């Protein structure tokens, strides 16, 4: 759409700017402030320069948490995106069953995140949970509070349970927007099912899939509540992801300086990666718009 140039539009944006400045910029400046200072308590601060950043970059703790985080985000993206597309392809297109599937699939998305953790905490317990009990009855040694592999598997299955529907819903919306003419043309060309998927459905879904990947990346990278409730970051540090580690450092130990430096680097990492996704997304938008 052709937009009118109108600088007065800034006035309409003003309320948002003020509110976001209040709720984002001021707190972020506090973080910046802490990240370059040290304290002996009593509110006496002195300049520490970039020492905290140097400290954090040299500490194994942050790199380990980052490694776990990247592995987690990578694994859940690798599972949720293909699975989501697969589910979307199999969804009924219209009628009662389509609505039914949409509603049921949306349910996990609307459950408070700590309840998601609680659900899986119960579900996975060997004594009272269906999953744990079944696995135990099958003779599989399963205990997500003791064994780090089991803890990882449970956290990942929980995330797949929680969020695959989001990818599926988006992919489904993308699929529905493909005009029938494309399928008819493919039919005339005697295209195989795979060819239809590869050359019609996938390119047409590219835009929404980018959004899905962007959202899943962002949200999985800042995941906190669900693993915190489920495993508390343990056993040991096995499922301590970046946010859990950060909260431990900032609110638990009150190490303001390192925590602030950590925060900034954490935020910048998400920002940098998301910016790449966003650029790809807007480029796709423009291409589709023409």
Partner 1 sequence: MTDIATPQVAEPVDKMTIAKPRKASRRMRPSGGAVVMTLYLLFLMLPIYWLFNMSLKTNAEILGAFSLWPRDLTFANYARILNDPSWYMGYVNTLIYVVLNTTISLAVALPAAYAFSRYSFIGDKHLFFWLLTNRMAPPAVFALPFFQFYSSVGLFDTHIAVALAHCLFNVPLAVWILEGFMRGVPKEIDETAYIDGYSFPAFFIKIFTPLIASGIGVAAFFCFMFSWVELLLSRTLTSVDAKPIAATMTRTVGAAGVDWGVLAAAGMLTIVPGALVIYFVRNYIAKGFALGRV
Range 234-273, binding partner 1 (CB under 8 A): 242-244, 246-247, 250-251, 256, 259, 263-264, 266-267, 270-271
Minimum distance from residue 6 beta carbon to partner 1 (Å)? 4
CA 185 → CA 145, 199, 202, 272, distances in Å? 55, 12, 16, 41
Tokens 């938008």 belong to: 285
> 47 - beta bridge partners?
37
Site for partner 1 in 169-188 (CB under 8 A): 169-170, 172-174, 177, 180, 183-184, 186-187
Site for partner 1 in 31-50 (CB under 8 A): 31
Of 36, 76, 166, 230, the one binding partner 1 (CB under 8 A) is 166
| Cα 65 off chain centre by | 16
240 secondary structure, DSSP code: -
Site for partner 1 in 78-117 (CB under 8 A): 86-87, 89-99, 101-115
Minimum distance from residue 67 beta carbon to partner 1 (Å)? 17
User: In the numeric block, which tokens belong to residue 267?
Assistant: 């935020």
> 37 - beta bridge partners?
47
Q: Which helix (H) or strand (E) holds 47?
A: strand 45-47
Judged by CB under 8 A, does residue 59 bind partner 1? no
Number of residues that bind partner 1 (CB under 8 A): 106
Minimum distance from residue 236 beta carbon to partner 1 (Å)? 20
Backbone angles phi, psi at 45, to 5 degrees: -115, 150
Residue 273: count of CB within 10 angstroms of its CB: 15
Instruction: Let me know: does 235 contact 190? Beta carbons within 8 Å.
Output: no
Considering beta carbons, is residue 48 or 246 the nearer one to partner 1?
246
Judged by CB under 8 A, does residue 53 bind partner 1? no
Site for partner 1 in 146-165 (CB under 8 A): 161, 165
Of 140, 276, 285, 287, the one binding partner 1 (CB under 8 A) is 285
């Amino acid at each position: 759409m052709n937009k009118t140039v109108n600088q007065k539009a800034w006035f309409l944006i003003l309320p948002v700017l003020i509110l976001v400045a209040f709720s984002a910029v001021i707190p972020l400046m506090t973080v910046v402030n802490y990240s370059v200072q040290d304290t002996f308590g009593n509110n006496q601060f002195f300049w520490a320069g970039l020492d905290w950043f140097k400290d954090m970059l040299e500490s194994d703790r942050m790199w380990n948490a980052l490694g776990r985080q990247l592995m987690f985000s990578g694994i859940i993206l690798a599972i949720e995106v293909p699975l989501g597309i697969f589910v979307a392809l199999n969804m009924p297109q219209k009628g009662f069953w389509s609505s039914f599937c949409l509603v049921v699939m949306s349910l996990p998305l609307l459950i408070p995140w700590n309840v998601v953790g609680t659900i899986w905490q119960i579900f996975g317990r060997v004594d009272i949970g269906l999953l744990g009990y079944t696995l135990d009855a099958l003779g599989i040694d399963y205990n997500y509070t003791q064994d780090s592999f089991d803890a990882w598997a449970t956290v990942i299955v929980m995330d797949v349970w929680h969020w695959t529907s989001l990818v599926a819903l988006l992919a489904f919306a993308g699929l529905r927007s493909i005009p029938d003419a494309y399928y008819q043309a493919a039919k005339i060309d005697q295209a195989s099912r795979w060819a239809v998927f590869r050359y019609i459905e996938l390119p047409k879904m590219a835009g929404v899939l980018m959004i899905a990947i962007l959202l899943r990346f962002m949200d999985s990278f800042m995941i906190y509540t669900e693993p915190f409730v489920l495993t508390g970051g343990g056993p040991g540090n096995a499922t301590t992801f970046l946010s859990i580690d950060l909260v431990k450092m900032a609110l638990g130990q009150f190490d303001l300086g390192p925590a602030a430096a950590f925060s900034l680097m954490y935020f910048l990492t998400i920002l940098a990666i998301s910016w790449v996704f966003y650029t790809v997304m807007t480029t796709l938008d423009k291409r589709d718009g023409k």
